[in-house]
Chains A and B, each alone.
Chain A
Amino acid sequence: MKRTFLGEFEEIVLLTVAILGEEAYGVTVTQELEQKTGRSVGFSTVHTTLQRLEEKGFLASQMGGATAERGGRRKRFFTVTAAGRKALVEVKQVREELWGALPPQTLQLMGG
């Protein structure tokens, strides 16, 4: 079975978009990521990743209406597509399978 490949960062970004729901665009995704993971991410990196996910079909985007802040410039909102959801589920399944296969004593050793 051919699996969709999701990079680690791509996965996190995709998840963040899913969390944010209707409000997901460049700035919110970046800030959410920084708060949740505590790591500083480059603005352009997030942007590029969003675009790449859209090209892969995991995200869809549309331009929002004119805004009052940011000089009246419109925002591009991202939503997770069906394929995106499927990819997230698959990734989660793989993780869980792997965790399940972990011998119990190893789990104990890791302090779990």
Chain B
Amino acid sequence: MTELTKKIPEQESGAGSASGSDSSGPEPILKVTGLVKHFPITKGVLKRKVGAVQAVDGLSFDVRPGETLGVVGESGCGKSTMGRLITRLLEPTGGKVEFEGRDITHLSAGALRPMRRDIQMIFQDPYGSLNPRHTIGGIVSTPFKLQGIEPEGGVKKEVQRLLELVGLSPEHYNRYPHEFSGGQRQRIGIARALALNPKLVVADEPVSALDVSIQAQVVNLLDDLQDELGLTYVIIAHDLSVIRHVSDRIAVMYLGKIVELADRASLYTSPKHPYTKALLSAVPVPDPSRRGGKSDRILLKGDVPSPISPPGGCRFHTRCWKATEICGTTEPPLIQLAPGHQAACHHPENAPDQRPQDTVSVAARETVELAGETPAESTEKAESTEEAESTEKPAPGDAASSDTASDDVASDAPSQDAEGPAKE
């Protein structure tokens, strides 16, 4: 919490700017505007296009130098595609990616090459991403060969320095990937990514294939390297606990869109988007006292809809307990609801309702159940929430408290304090 309050003054100046970024702060190292990637679906002998997987559909965000942006979402939300787009392993269908002020959206492979030095990627699978026939030395020195760079003191010396940097022994130079454990392989992948002294590192699920005890080693390593080398990270993961630990700011994605983008503390203590709230409440916590019905868990019903034909309006409205008519028709824009906190929702949690005149439909109430309660109770709860929201002209603090009935994660934080000054 202290972190959040601390951040507010510096955030305030940026409030209201179109992309929600800090206009007075340092130039963003990466600026993404309206990023779109559709994968066409073809059919028949003639391969005629019958539709598209709308993997990423209009993302706008900035990454500031030295920060870690966490991107979290469930499978199929487009987070990995996003990672491949900003590293330009994929070419965007639309929108713009600017790296240090330079438009790299449609650069050719040749023109991209110098830029590849500055943007590197770490992959999830430490087994699949290292060529088993090459030695560690060969793998880590590949970037030098590709870029035609001769580091000071020779390639071998530099590779050994990198191995040491990521916590491996320089003697590992001539060994092969199969001689290493998963955690060590991930370190090799990190060493390779760092070889050319990149500015931005995009890590796609860097620890999800690793055991818990090893996960922590790699997370700490990434942390140390950031401090030491001044790296900027975009870390993509599905694990909300890991994301919270590593990130300064977090983007929550759902079906190809960012539904919420906020500072870490603000996001976890007072999530604004119902999806974020449901996601946070679903994280299992290693504390048996919260077992069973004791925690007010929001259980979303059903599955994420297909990205081939995503629902109109707000993409989350089919599973949202707060959905009203407008949610099905009008897509909510990603707007600033508190300093450093953007969300795309008509009826946000912990913030003034954007469309107070709309009432919750009966169908919406049935989209969730609160764990450990009978359905009747949960309906009542939804009703009381709805009443609180529709009758009161919501002051920011009230909006948060009206909700505590069904929210655990948000309520144990004194979010009112943080939000009070936010209301312009």
A binds B: no
Interface residue ranges, A against B (CB under 8 Å): none
